[in-house]
Amino acid sequence: MPEKKDKQNPEEQYLDSKTLEKVMAKQLKPVVDDVMHKFLGVTIDELNKDISDKIETKPLIQFDVNIALSFKSAKKLFRKQFFSKLIQTHYGNISEVADIAGIDRRSIHRAVKELGIEVKKLRKELLMPNYYTKEAVDSILRGTLEQYKQVIHPTKLEEMYKNVSNVSEDLLKVLPVKDITWKKAEQEFEKEFLRKILELYNGNISKTAKKIKIRYETLIRKMNKLGI
């Protein structure tokens, strides 16, 4: 069962972006070095740097990016997951969710209604603020290890995979709760969705636009805006 949480003062939970960057820069890399050495028995600087960089730059919350759907349908699914996860990890408090997402309460209430989000159910299954952060760090660790499987001894690699959860817990000790606004989350989703679908169609913009059911010109504008 997910771990229940006790309500805390939001000021004690969240750090502003400048403070977050300082904490991450000073504390994360040494912790990654120590934790990875503990489980691998060796220090692989490039691997550790990749893990540190991804944790620092990636939003530490995961969402489905379903390229089998149209752009509109996939984004609707993403919106539901985004607001559901914020509600579930922030006491079911709509005002707090609105502050974190950077939008007004009325927009949250509209989204809840439009997307069929069951707030009462989510309030019965509240999670610790770092629940989804751990989930994201686990994914970063597994994905990065996969990229280095040719240079890490199979036995060590297997041991590392088995201890991903323990490694994440150690890293979370220095990771402040890192929330993301709706605007930033929306950008990250659109960028990942378009990157994946373009890769599937070998960069063919016409085929991609037709597949995801948006206008060619709209896709071009989005690509330019997102730096794709």
| Tens-place pLDDT, residues 83-104 | 998 898 887 889 989 998 999 9
Q: Which residue has the tokens 């088995």?
A: 162
Reply yes or no on whether the pLDDT at 3 is more than 60.
no
Q: Report the pLDDT averaged over residues 133-158.
A: 84
Backbone angles phi, psi at 177, to 5 degrees: -60, 125
Domain ranges of the chain: 16-226
CA geometry: angle at 219 spanning 213 and 225, to 5°? 145
Sign of the Cα pseudo-torsion (84, 88, 90, 94, in order): positive
Worst-scoring range by mean pLDDT, 63-77, 107-121, 134-148, 172-186?
A: 172-186
Reply yes or no on whether the pLDDT at 200 is more than 60.
yes
Q: Quote the pLDDT of residue 204.
A: 96
Task: Give the span between the Cα atoms of 92 and 113, in whole angstroms.
Answer: 15
pTM of the predicted structure, to 2 decimals: 0.64
Within 10 A of 75 (CB to CB), how many other CB atoms are there? 18
Q: Quote the pLDDT of residue 13.
A: 40
